[in-house]
A and B are shown apart, each in its own frame.
Chain A
Amino acid sequence: MRMPILATMRRALLLAAMSLGLAACIGSEPRAPELYTAVQGWRQISENESWLLLEPSTEAAVIARLAKQEGPRLYQRLVLANDTVLSGENYFEVMLSGDPSDGTARYTETSFLGTVSDALPGGSTVNGQSSNRYGTIIYAIAEGLGDARCIYAIQRLVETEALQLPSGVAFGTIEHRYCGTGETREQLVARIERLNFNPLLTIVSGGSFSPAF
């Protein structure tokens, strides 16, 4: 009657699969093969293509560099390591839009609370404001999460002496989300306060952004 350990583990994995909703039905072939065509999404990019330059300690925590295009919007996302047991990924995400009529609907007064709520894993929230060389940063810090704290910060990019938006870019945003164990509020805010854009971002090549696109 002894249950082999591997069998036990496999059964646990089956449970895991079931919890993912993966084992509910059997036997369906792909019904829409065209779904596999023309699919886009994030693609990996090299460090040299990154728009953002981070502090060395933050740079070391980057585990993936991704880019994508959605309509008039170009995105880069740097996924960061996460030493907590909380849900959600740590990241910096930069969006540049070439559409003058585009907007930042996620950051309007009415939607911001929902956006923050989606981004943070719970806890009590403290709101704040800071700045970096590219302008104002608005952030929310979640506390009461054991020994961890989290930040969700946004920044609207405007042209400043420090940042010349590429030709054709109407506006841009930076989103930053980070949860860390033992982090102080100041440490959480510092990552976005101290970031820099790659100066090569201002180069325009053939109507598209460079680097990365």
Chain B
Amino acid sequence: MLRVALMILALGAAGADRVTDALAQLPDPQGPDAAPIVDGGAADAAAALEPDLTALRYYIEIGDWSRVEAELRRLREEYPTWSPPPDLLGGEAAPQVNVQEVWDLFGAGDYAGARARLAEIEEANPGFAPPEDLLRELNLAESRQRLVNASDLEQWQRVLDIATETPGLLTCARVDNVWRTADAYAELGQIDSAFMLWRTVVETCTNIDERIATLQKADAYVDVAQLDTLISLALTRSPGAEDRILQARDDLLAGRGLEAEPVDMAEVQEESGDASTVSLPPPRPITQPASAGGGGGAPATPAGPSVAERAAQAQARADYGECLSLTQSVQEPGARLVRAWCLFELDRPTEANMLFGQVIAATSDAGIRETAQFGEVLSLLRSNRLAEAGVAMRSVSLTPAQQRDIDAEILAQRATSAYAGNDFRETIRLVRARRDLGVTDRRDLNIIMAWSYYQTGQLAEAEDLFRQLDQVFSTAESREGLSVVRNARRAPF
């Protein structure tokens, strides 16, 4: 808990130095006091006080004085208290070394390349000291990449090690890092530490979408009391967004088989006697509907969440294995529908398709049937059973959004088939057409597109795409692609 206390102190301070000092005092995350680290708003504030001088230095280096003046004007407007450092125009001892190439590599996400180029520059220029901002950004980016990799591979202790080693990694500007670190704590059973991280984000980071997302992420691990603590904090710190937060609360509680009492913000603030906090009425179990014609006098019987609800809750937190376990032998169409979606998510579209079909045959509920029909089409498409999907689509009334997603799935399948048939230009055309629909990119399609660029001699495009993929999540596949393309570009012919 010492680490947590220090973190809170750091968040209350404005300067980066205090954050750094506080972080430096934090114990090793493997120790018994292990607790979260966050520099949150303080680091943001520090970043705001330290303008990025990269562009300015670059314009000076190339002697573009009109741009130097323009950039100085911009910096002074944006940072009123800032003044140019004395060494900006080149200190006497500073060698004239152009590190723009390193920045370019950094900007392209090629951190290893940036490191290598920096080493070359240092070797060629004895006495040269790399710019601190470059080293800081490079360290952060590399650490971020390692943290994401470790998190994706569920190496939770490694996530905590990286987060601790790198002050500045956990900020509101990089809230995904904070979420991943909190997940790591939670997965290691250190819920209190994870809770403090979520709480810090809700308290400190001002983006309302991120606040709500934090509530949703925490929901998978915390109890109702902790959840309401976070929601209460979010309410007091998000004026104007109370309805969204309360709706999020309704959703999260419903996932637990609970329902919330109506909340009057003015009333709960008054009850708490403090405008900075709210005291939320405790939720109650969702009750079964009163039986029709039941005499009107029978009290509703409290009931826990149904299998379908619990499975849907597992699905919502992407715990598809739990979803399948819960629904293994159920016959109720609602639960089976959720199971079908979980199978779909687990890349088991054939089984999902069978189940969607069974739900369609068994249910008399129009809403369930429509959803299952949509799932049936999507799962056929995911299985690349395009002709059957075409037949199934004829009996389904699709919304424009559903139609778009089905178009996207068809394009994905066709692109994959084109690639398998060595038709690389067609692959590129189809992946581009899918992107034009405005749907979320798929990594597997980007990989085959990058290889298609390579196969058609578009090496720059191939390298760009592999680099982007490697930057997001470095895998043997992305690294191999990058290496092959770079070697090809270096080849004399």
Q: Contact residue range for chain A? A: 35 or more
A96 to B301, CA, bound (A): 62
In the assembled complex, B254 has its CB within 8 A of some CB on chain A: yes
Residues in A neighbouring B347, C-beta threshold 8 A: 87-89
Residues in B neighbouring A197, C-beta threshold 8 A: none
The segment out of A77-85, A153-161, A186-194, A204-212 that lies at the interface is A77-85
Interface string of B385-399 (1 = CB under 8 A from A): 111101000000001
Residues in B neighbouring A66, C-beta threshold 8 A: 383, 385
In the assembled complex, A11 has its CB within 8 A of some CB on chain B: yes
Asked if residues A31 and B421 are in contact (CB atoms below 8 Å), the reply is: no
Question: How many whole Å from A77's CB to the nearest CB in chain B?
Answer: 9
The segment out of A32-40, A52-60, A134-142 that lies at the interface is A32-40
Asked if residues A30 and B407 are in contact (CB atoms below 8 Å), the reply is: yes
Q: Knowing A43-B385, A66-B385, A117-B476, say if A89 contacts B349 (CB, 8 Å).
A: yes
Residues in B neighbouring A70, C-beta threshold 8 A: 417, 420-421
Interface string of B367-397 (1 = CB under 8 A from A): 1000100000010000111111010000000
B294-330, CB < 8 A from A: 300, 306, 308-309, 312-313, 315-316, 318, 320-322, 324-325
Asked if residues B254 and A71 are in contact (CB atoms below 8 Å), the reply is: no
Contact with B312, one of A15, A32, A44 (Cβ below 8 angstroms): A15
Q: Knowing A24-B439, A114-B476, say if A42 contacts B384 (CB, 8 Å).
A: yes
Q: Contact residue range for chain B? A: 35 or more
Q: Knowing A12-B312, A19-B315, A28-B438, say if A5 contacts B414 (CB, 8 Å).
A: no
Interface string of A116-149 (1 = CB under 8 A from B): 0100000000000000000000000000000000
Q: Can you pick out 14 interface pairs between chain A and chain B where the beta carbons lie within 8 Å of each other?
A: A1-B259, A9-B334, A12-B308, A16-B315, A26-B400, A27-B401, A30-B404, A63-B351, A70-B421, A82-B348, A85-B321, A87-B348, A89-B349, A89-B351
A44 to B384, CA, bound (A): 11
Asked if residues A22 and B410 are in contact (CB atoms below 8 Å), the reply is: no
Task: Classify the secondary structure of B's interface with A.
Answer: helix
Contact with B384, one of A8, A9, A22, A68 (Cβ below 8 angstroms): A68
Residues in A neighbouring B309, C-beta threshold 8 A: 5, 8-9, 12
The segment out of B76-84, B192-200, B337-345 that lies at the interface is B337-345
- In chain B, what residue has the closest Cβ to A64? B350
A160 to B286, CA, bound (A): 66
A97 to B419, CA, bound (A): 16
Asked if residues B404 and A12 are in contact (CB atoms below 8 Å), the reply is: no
Q: Knowing A11-B251, A15-B315, say if A89 contacts B350 (CB, 8 Å).
A: yes
Question: How many whole Å from A144's CB to the nearest CB in chain B?
Answer: 12
